Amino acid sequence: MALTGGYISVKGPGPLGKIETSGFSDPSITFHANIFGAPALRRDQYAQAIPQNYMSFHLTVNVPLGSYDRNSPVNTGANRWAFNPLVNLDVTPDKGVSWIDLYAGARFFTNNNEFLGNNQLSQNPTATFSAFYSHNIGRRMFAGIGASYDNGGETFVNHTSQHNAANGFRPGVSFSRARTIWKYRLTLRYELTGTTPRAAPTNSLFQINLSGPLF
């Protein structure tokens, strides 16, 4: 199980120009289950373990506890629950030096009944399929490249369609480095919109992740 959260800044268009806000994002809880491969190991077994192909299932739940202003068109919290089941298959042809990662997932949302006042924002489920290739650089770093395809997710305000369903590819790159002394890993990730339907707005994402053990 994993718990994540953060403090983020959001920028978006408004009737009088750009709108900016900052605040806490909705925290998420992720549950992990192994289907095959990647057996549980004791700490003293990790050094001798040979990486192998594996498949796993994950369920992420986003809890609506982030910063939210019902009168603002831009927020860091969503004011609704979200559920994201995901299945991944990871294949290594060379005992962990490189990986081919395949993902298939969906995302489901509850309604936000405080959207721009007392309006109701609802959203159809989304489906995502991803493929990535990564390669180790030495013992502490890796770099990767891949793409994701999103479909669905059309939103409705008071049951009126906003005609903004996703149907496009998002290429991305990532780089990660671990510090064994402090047992933390820094990962940088960048992705951008590759294709969109009906001239939908494009977007890009730059993400910095710092991960490590709690104890």
pLDDT at residue 195, rounded to an integer: 53
Share above pLDDT 70 across residues of the chain, in percent, rounded to a whole number: 85
Domain ranges (residues) in the chain: 2-211
Instruction: Check pLDDT > 50 for residue 40.
Output: yes
Instruction: Check pLDDT > 50 for residue 181.
Output: no
Q: Tell me how crowded residue 80 is: count the other CB atoms within 10 A of its CB.
A: 19
Comparing 157 with 167, which gets the higher pLDDT? 157
pTM above 0.95, yes or no: no
Highest mean pLDDT among 39-48, 130-139, 201-210: 130-139
pLDDT, average across residues 24-32: 94
pLDDT at residue 199, rounded to an integer: 44
CB 106 within 8 A of CB 112: no
CATH class of 2-211: mainly beta
Comparing 131 with 187, which gets the higher pLDDT? 131
**Average pLDDT of every residue of the chain:** 85
pLDDT band at 198 (very low <50, low <70, confident <90, very high): low
Which residues, 6 or more positions from 88, have their beta carbon under 8 angstroms from its beta carbon? 55, 56, 58, 101, 102, 103, 104
pLDDT, average across residues 107-116: 97
pLDDT at residue 213, rounded to an integer: 63
CB 136 within 8 A of CB 102: no
